[in-house]
Amino acid sequence: MNLRLSAEQKSGPWTFAQLLRLDNVFDREHIGSVIVGDAQGRYYEPGPERSLYGGVRATYSF
């Protein structure tokens, strides 16, 4: 399960946006990819652990 929060504010010609994302909320182990034909017996690769991402954006409209 992933969560994503975003917000946007406008002030005249300016627009400000924020983003916050949390991936793998419950920090569960999962398969990220499958390797076909691997001779070493490593057919499954683990997926990423819990991760957090945030960003901001400012735009100006003419």
Contacts of 11 (CB under 8 A, 6+ apart): none
The whole-number pLDDT of residue 55 equals 98
10-43 burial string, b = 16+ CB within 10 Å, else e? eeeeeeeeeeeeebeeeeeeeeeeeeeeeeeeee
Task: Please give the distance of CA 39 from its chain centroid, rounded to a whole number.
Answer: 32
Strand partners, 23: 51
Q: What is the pLDDT of residue 42?
A: 77
pLDDT tens-digit profile, the chain (62 residues)? 999 999 999 999 999 999 999 999 999 999 989 988 877 777 888 999 999 999 999 999 99
